[in-house]
Every structure is written in C-alpha cells, then in structure tokens.
Amino acid sequence: MSLLCARRATAALLASPLVLRRCIAAILPDPKILNEVARLQTVSSLNSLKIRSSDFIDASGLAPLAVAFDATQKPNQLWYNLSKKFESPPFPPASKGFLYYHNDTHTPLESGIRLRLTPSNSPSSSSSLLASGQDLIAPSGAPWHIPLPALVLDRMHTGIINQLLRENMVTQKQLWHCRTLFGKRWKQWAPQLITRLTQEFPADFSGILNMTVVAGEAIHRLKLAHIFGLEAPGPWTGSAIVRFEPSTLPKYAGSRVLHLRILRIVTPVTPDTTRPRDVRIAKPEPGALLTTLSRPSSLTVDSDTDVPANVEVNADAELESAPWAYNIDRQTANGEALRALWEVHNWNPKPSIIVHPL
Ligand SMILES: *[C@@H]1O[C@H](CO)[C@@H](O)[C@H](O)[C@H]1NC(C)=O
Ligand SMILES: *[C@@H]1O[C@H](CO)[C@@H](O)[C@H](O)[C@H]1NC(C)=O
Ligand SMILES: *[C@@H]1O[C@H](CO)[C@@H](O)[C@H](O)[C@H]1NC(C)=O
C-alpha cells in the first residue's frame, strides 16, 4: 500500500466510530495503520492553565497525530507540514509535550494550536507549561501551529473549534471575523499571514514572497516575485526568518521605503548551481539586510532631451551593493498591501540620523 493510500485509509479509519475502528484495525494487515490507531490520544483541555499530566501526548513519527477530547468523539487529525497535495512528513522524533491554544496578544488571526515540548509529563512541568519548554518548530523555522483561520475554515478541524468554544478560548465574533475576511474560497489566500509591518515571518530564498496581508478589516495579496533574484527561483537556496524594516537611510529620508532584515538562517544558504548565474542578490547573511548587487553604469545623456542615450555597463568594475529597497508608495497591488500595513498601526519611523559634512 502506498504511503498516501495508507494515510487516506487511516483517515477514513479514524473517522469511523471507535468500536468499528477496533474491528477494522483487527483485520487490517498494515502495521503502520495499526500503530496509528493504537496511538489515538485523548486530551482534556487546550487551555494551558488547565492542562493535566494525562494530557501529555507523543506525536513523534506520526502522520497524522490523532487526538480526541473524549473517547466518544471523532478524532481530530493534526499534520506536521501538510502540502496542497495532502501529503505530510511525520512529526519529528521527540515531538512530545502538550497541545495548547496560543492566544496571540496582537491579533486572534495569529492565535492557534501549538505543541509545547516538555521533557516529561510531570504535573509540575504542565502547570508551568508556558513558563518552561519550547514550542515545536515547523520546517519553515517558525513555531508549528494551526492558525485560527485554518481551524475555523477547514472542516477537518471542526472538533478543535468546538472544543475551543466549550472552553471559552475563542469567541463567536472571532470565528465570524475569520469567515468574513477569507470567505468561502479561503484556500486561494497564501497561508503565510502578516498583520504587522515588522512581524517576523519565514522566507524561502529559492522561491518568491507570497503572503496574505491583513491590515485592520482589509485583506490583500502580497506577491514579491523578484525579491530573491531577478528570476524566480533566485540564485540562492536556503531559508530564514526575516522581517520588513522601514528604512532609516539618509538617501530615503522623506519617502516610505522598506528593507528586508534576515534575522536567522533556518536552512543553510547555498548557491543554486542548477540556475544560470545571477549575481544581483548577495548571499543572505544572518542579522544583515537583504542586499542587491549591481555594476555601476556610466550614462551618456542626450543634452537636448535629457534622456540617457547610451548606457555603458562597466563589466570590470567592482559590484556596488545596496540594501534591497521597496518604496511602498508605488501604485501597484504590492504597494497598496504594504501601505495598508504601514498605516494600520500608524507606523512612525524614527527620524533618520543625517550626518552633515563639516
Ligand atoms: C513544508 O511545506 C512547504 C509548503 O508546502 C514546503 O515548501 C516544504 O518543502 C515542506 N517541508 C517539509 C520538510 O516537508
Ligand atoms: C486572549 O488575548 C486577548 C488580548 O490579549 C484577551 O483580550 C483575551 O481575553 C484572551 N483570551 C483568552 C481566552 O485568554
Ligand atoms: C500564492 O499563494 C496562493 C495561495 O496559496 C496560490 O494560489 C498562488 O498560486 C501562489 N502564487 C505563486 C506565484 O506561487
């Protein structure tokens, strides 16, 4: 049985009533499925303050992790890194701890289910759940989570939403907000959400930036196809956690310009040797701004029209580097999305420090 087929069979199996599930499990030969059924786990609460030691779960090696909130309920399936083709690698080794609802302080849209890794199920570690341990990290480098909009809009997660409502962790108003924002065709919105200008987010250098911007009540697409190379995919592979930063460079004083800061590398950055050589993006370095490289050109200006008549690129000159910069006042869909993000929290950049020559 192929892995995908086995997963689908498991999904069907897990959706059936418990007694039936036991019967099917007893006659099915696939040990993987038997194993997954055996590891259906029960959790009494998703509230980090109410979690008990018996809520300790082990997701290691599971695809999916099946949890129920009581024995009579249909199990809820949680996947480590579900793709659009409904495939996911299993949870990594040592994915043990407590599932809980992370209530984000900025916006409910960033709230969601996370897994707090703890070394043991002792009550002392569970009572101080959020004071100790670490969240499981997803392949992107951000905490593994199932965000509230996905919980609300994907029918696969109805059981979790019902549990959150029972525990007063979410409000009907929040659910309604998710539904009205994303609508019925929510899968057409990029899963990576950004609601604050300088929010950290994961980026894959071999791809494009494809995100959903929510600024107040408005929703926008942000698709920067050429940010990591003149052609997508760009010259580098690897990934990082990054953020936008309003420019404080004197050369951009008076205009609204964003740079991209590489905060930490998640998968090592290497040149993509399968691509034609493109030297216009410098190797992304942790802590630094994303940097573009260009050759200085000498312009010959037509004195009558003021239009450059001839551009000579000096191929032997040193490459000039400058931070990647995006002026948000461009009249494009991306400009509009970034302006909304800038304006929703009245971003006030620090005045730039202009050094005057003596
Ligand atoms: C996780 O999912 C993303 C998006 O589908 C994909 O690009 C990435 O390769 C996946 N990573 C792993 C380790 O499965
Ligand atoms: C979640 O956080 C918000 C904002 O900090 C707060 O108003 C709300 O009461 C919290 N909800 C729960 C269930 O703790
Ligand atoms: C961006 O994400 C959306 C939603 O996942 C997807 O439909 C679209 O094809 C993506 N665009 C690109 C260029 O990858």
pLDDT of 78 reads 96
**Has residue 14 got a pLDDT over 90?**
no
Give pLDDT tens digits for 221-275: 999 988 998 665 668 999 999 999 999 999 999 999 999 999 999 999 998 877 6
Residue with more model confidence, 178 or 119: 178
pLDDT of 243 reads 98
Say which residues have a Cβ less than 8 Å from residue 83's Cβ, sequence separation at least 6.
none
Residue 352 domain flag: no
Least confident of 5-14, 71-80, 180-189: 5-14
Query: What single-letter DSSP state applies at residue 300?
Result: E
pLDDT of 278 reads 62
Write out the two tokens for 151. 């919980």
| Residue 89 CB–ligand 1 contact under 6 Å | yes
**Has residue 163 got a pLDDT over 50?**
yes
CA of 346 to the centre of ligand 1 (A): 35
Nearest in space to 291 (alpha carbons), one of 300, 299, 282: 282
pLDDT of 317 reads 64
CA of 153 to the centre of ligand 1 (A): 21
Q: Of the candidates 162, 182, 202, which is a domain's last residue?
A: 182
The residues that bridge with 210 in the sheet, in sequence order, are 223
pLDDT of 8 reads 52
pLDDT band at 354 (very low <50, low <70, confident <90, very high): very low
pLDDT band at 348 (very low <50, low <70, confident <90, very high): low
Residue 216 domain flag: yes
| Residue 207 CB–ligand 1 contact under 6 Å | no
170 and 217 part of one domain: no
203 and 335 part of one domain: yes
- The packing angle between helices 18-27 and 31-38, to 10°, is 150
Structural domains counted in the chain? 2
pLDDT of 320 reads 85
Residue 6 domain flag: no
119 and 256 part of one domain: no
221, 244 contact by CB (below 8 A): no
**Has residue 292 got a pLDDT over 70?**
yes
175 and 203 part of one domain: no
Helices (H), the chain: 3-15, 18-27, 31-38, 123-127, 148-153, 158-166, 172-182, 333-344
pLDDT band at 68 (very low <50, low <70, confident <90, very high): very high
pLDDT of 352 reads 44
Please give the Cα distance from 133 to 234 (Å, whole number).
Answer: 37
| Residue 216 CB–ligand 1 contact under 6 Å | no
Nearest in space to 36 (alpha carbons), one of 74, 6, 72, 81: 6
CA of 221 to the centre of ligand 3 (A): 9
DSSP string, 236-268: EEEEEEEEEEE---GGGTTS-EEEEEEEEEEEE
| Residue 83 CB–ligand 1 contact under 6 Å | yes
Write out the two tokens for 49. 């303050």
* Residue 10: count of CB within 10 angstroms of its CB: 22
47 and 83 part of one domain: yes
111 and 243 part of one domain: no
3-state secondary structure of 100: strand
Global pTM reads 0.82
Segment 321-338 mean pLDDT:
95
Segment 114-129 mean pLDDT:
72
3-state secondary structure of 317: coil
Nearest CA to ligand 1 atom 13: 139
Please give the Cα distance from 170 to 163 (Å, whole number).
Answer: 10
204 and 306 part of one domain: yes
Residue 353 domain flag: no
**Has residue 335 got a pLDDT over 60?**
yes
Residue 229 domain flag: yes
Atom of ligand 2 nearest to the CA of 104: 2
Please give the Cα distance from 42 to 19 (Å, whole number).
Answer: 16
CA of 210 to the centre of ligand 3 (A): 6
Residue 5 domain flag: no
Residue with more model confidence, 321 or 312: 321
171 and 218 part of one domain: no
Segment 180-185 mean pLDDT:
90
178 and 198 part of one domain: no
Q: Of the candidates 182, 210, 234, which is a domain's last residue?
A: 182
Residue 232 domain flag: yes
Q: Count how many residues are written for the chain.
A: 358
Please give the Cα distance from 255 to 252 (Å, whole number).
Answer: 6
Which residues have any ligand 3 atom within 6 Å of their CB?
A: 188-190, 208, 210
**Has residue 166 got a pLDDT over 90?**
yes
The residue segments making up the domain with residue 237 are: 193-344
CA of 113 to the centre of ligand 2 (A): 15
338 and 199 part of one domain: yes
CA of 158 to the centre of ligand 2 (A): 21
51 and 173 part of one domain: yes
Residue 12 domain flag: no
Please give the Cα distance from 268 to 10 (Å, whole number).
Answer: 35
Give pLDDT tens digits for 302-319: 334 344 444 455 556 677
178 and 201 part of one domain: no
Rounded to the nearest 5°, which phi and psi values hold at 326?
-130, 115
| Residue 103 CB–ligand 2 contact under 6 Å | yes
Q: Of the candidates 158, 182, 206, which is a domain's last residue?
A: 182
pLDDT band at 20 (very low <50, low <70, confident <90, very high): very low
**Has residue 111 got a pLDDT over 70?**
yes
Q: In a 10 Å sphere around its CB, with 0-12 CB exposed, 13-18 middle and 19+ buried, how is residue 51 labelled? A: buried
Q: What is the chain's mean pLDDT, rounded?
A: 82
Least confident of 40-49, 67-76, 255-264: 67-76
